[in-house]
Amino acid sequence: MIDSGTQGSAPIPVALSSASVYPLNVHDAFSVAHDLGYDGVEVLVTGNQISQDAAALNRLAERYEQPIMAIHAPTLLLTQQVWGTAWNKIESAAAMAVEVGCDVVVAHPPFRWQGTYATEFATGIRRIMEEYGVKIAVENMYPWRARGREAKMYLPHWNPIPEPYEFVTWDFSHSAIADMDSAVAFRELGQRLSHVHLCDGMDNGKDEHLVPGRGTQPVIEAIQYLRDAAWDGVVAVEVSTRKAKGAGEREAWLGETLEFARRHLSQVSTGAQSGTHSI
């Protein structure tokens, strides 16, 4: 959420998404987050049993002193077999969020073939939010292309900005593929922006989730806008480390991203410059 008043004093928390350690599991995400000094963890629910078990997640949160700051519902193509029907995925994620003590559920927009789940999505998530007292923040996606033409995968659309969603998650890698300017999007979303996936990307059709600064998105300008607007959400690092050469390089990338986030989210004195300077 954006505060139109003065800057707040509380720093914006930086969490580590468990997606960032794939193909390792959620247990490894808590361990890495603790070792690198993150503020918490975003749990992506997958086929891994621990990621589906609220009690096990609470034990990990306590053991590694890493609060759970968001639950990412299993609404990806790769998690279609997790938690049954599409509506059950959302409801189960909302229930888990309550059990682990966080109030944000990240969900992808529905696929066109998902019938009434797709056509009634906005109304349905509103009902679940009211029932469970959580925010369901719909994530921006991107156009899929086949033979040079856009394949209409999402209903009503991959871009959440014009849709009637109360809360939105913004992902820089997805924005890059869609050839959108994230800094502009943050201003357009205003108070609807509830959660951010920090990464970077290129306009090459690949969902790469790069370390910030290695792509073409105006990441610095965008997150400094959050800082200056006293935003009260969570920035969750979602950087792909699948190509990292062992644990050392994986932790180096995630450590670099944490340092990047802390540096550009930290409060600055009046008159200090901000914007799109290079790092």
Which band of pLDDT confidence, cut at 50, 70 and 90, is reported for residue 151? Answer: confident
Inter-residue contact 168 to 189 (CB < 8 Å): yes
- Record the pTM: 0.91
What is the predicted pLDDT for the residue at 3? 58
What is the predicted pLDDT for the residue at 2? 61
Inter-residue contact 62 to 30 (CB < 8 Å): no
* Integer Cα distance of 156 and 160 in angstroms: 9
What structural domains does the chain harbor? Answer: 14-265 (3.20.20.150)
HEC letters along the chain: CCCCCCCCCCCCCEEEEHHHHCCCCHHHHHHHHHHHCCCEEEEECCCCHHHHCHHHHHHHHHHHCCCEEEEECCCCHHHCCCCCCHHHHHHHHHHHHHHHCCCEEEECCCECCCHHHHHCHHHHHHHHHHHHCCEEEEECCCCEEECCEEECCECCCCCCCCCCCCEEEEEHHHHHHCCCCHHHHHHHHHHHEEEEEECECCCCCCCCCECCCCCCCCHHHHHHHHHHCCCCCEEEECCCCCCCCHHHHHHHHHHHHHHHHHHHHCCCCCCCCCCCCCC
Q: What is the CA radius of gyration of the chain?
A: 18
Which band of pLDDT confidence, cut at 50, 70 and 90, is reported for residue 216? Answer: very high
Task: Give strand pairing partners of 235.
Answer: 14, 196
What is the predicted pLDDT for the residue at 1? 64
Q: How does the average pLDDT of the chain come out, rounded?
A: 91
What is the predicted pLDDT for the residue at 246? 83
- 90, 107, 100, 31: which is closest to 69 by C-alpha? 100
167 phi and psi angles, rounded to 5 deg: -130, 145
Which band of pLDDT confidence, cut at 50, 70 and 90, is reported for residue 275? Answer: very low
Percent of the chain past pLDDT 70, that is, above it, reads 91
What is the predicted pLDDT for the residue at 155? 92
